Amino acid sequence: MKSIVNGPIPDDFMRDVSNRLNTLLFDKEKRELTVLDQLLLPLEKKYIPVRNVDEACAVIKSMQVRGAPLIAAVAILGLYLEINQKTLKDSAEFLHFLGEKSQQLIDTRPTAINLRNALNDLKACVLVSSVETVQGKLASLNEKILEIYDGEQEENRRLVWNGYQEVISNCSHGKEKLTLLTICNTGSLATCSWGTALGVIVALHQAGRVENVYALETRPYNQGARLTTTELKHNGVPFMLITDSMAAWTMKTTKIDAILVGADQVALNGDTANKIGTYMLAVLANHHKVPFYPVVPYTTVNRSRENGDSIPIEERPPKEMLQANGVFVIPEDTPVWNPAFDVTPAELITKIITDFGNYPPKELKKAVEEFSQV
């Protein structure tokens, strides 16, 4: 990896992950995977088994598992478990099975590009392998899956370090402690590590640099209210929960030093798809002159999209807006439009923070091209 923003990462920086919330438990030796049911948080902590692709798809579709990096991890591990249980007679059957299962996983969450990128990397790894036997291709696939999974933690440290340095260098303006704002959930519950935007916030807190964090509730699934507040409490970060509609007044009445958000897909020009409501925050940030940062790993950049106009926007079932705890609180026949994401135009973004450097949107494409050749 070639780009560290301000020198090497200190050895002890975010190295200890023992205190974070575990989103999944994976035993490589026993080939067992369980995932935390995020729909039950914060009132109940329950792990459920994932043994194959169908079960991986089920927990992703239901949003028991969510967060773009975590979705990709659960998907490839579900594939790992199933393909190692199969008896495939030849390479053609192996490749057909891999393609079919990969597409099944990709279809679960069309906006989350980490998922597609990870699965495409797996297919490419197998296709370029010179080994023609099923056993050889399976060995190559297994090695690549575990490489992606194991590598996520160190990539996350670089991402959080780069974000930490960016905020300290360009948003503090001599202030010892900062007031930040975020939407949705972008912490350890969305990844296999510390998280993206929330990972940066936790790092700033551990350095004694956080005064307060405003966390948006994030309707209609309330990931901010249920999940982000759980993580902030767990890590002892001072915070205030607000409704999505309070963001404008908060920026008007409180000095917000930076807004940190995640993303499920970033186009090469810097247009960024994230949880619905993020575009609203970017417009408000621009008006109030607040730095606005998407925090994303390399795997979130869609190298095949020049801009955000064609990013697919997932639309969720109407019941998510009409129900509370499974009970209809609004008439079931009420017309509903429920897009899960929106796209923030690049011109509203200060910089895109990544594990390979921090870039104004206009510099992102060149940086991605250079990084992809390393």
User: Active-site residue numbers?
Assistant: 264
Residue matched to tokens 């509203």: 348
Report the candidate in 361, 374, 36 with the shortest Cα–Cα distance to residue 191: 36
Report the candidate in 361, 219, 334, 323 with the shortest Cα–Cα distance to residue 277: 219
**Secondary structure (DSSP) of 310-335:** G----B--THHHHEETTEESS-TT--
Tokens of 234: 């767990």
> Which residue pairs from 129-137 have beta carbons closer than 8 angstroms and sit at least 24 positions apart in sequence?
132/91, 133/91, 134/88, 134/89, 134/90, 134/91, 134/93, 134/94, 137/91, 137/94, 137/95
Q: What are the C-alpha distances in Å from 106 to residues 53, 118, 185, 216, 367?
A: 11, 10, 21, 28, 26
Beta strand pairing status for 32-36 and 47-49?
Answer: antiparallel
Report the distance separating Cα 112 and Cα 117, nearest Å. Answer: 9
Residue type present at position 92: A
Is residue 65 exposed (0-12), middle (13-18) or buried (19+ Cβ within 10 Å)? buried
Residue 33, CA atoms < 13 Å, CB-side half-sphere: 23
Task: Give the H/E segment covering residue 275.
Answer: strand 272-275
Report the distance separating Cα 98 and Cα 256, nearest Å. Answer: 47
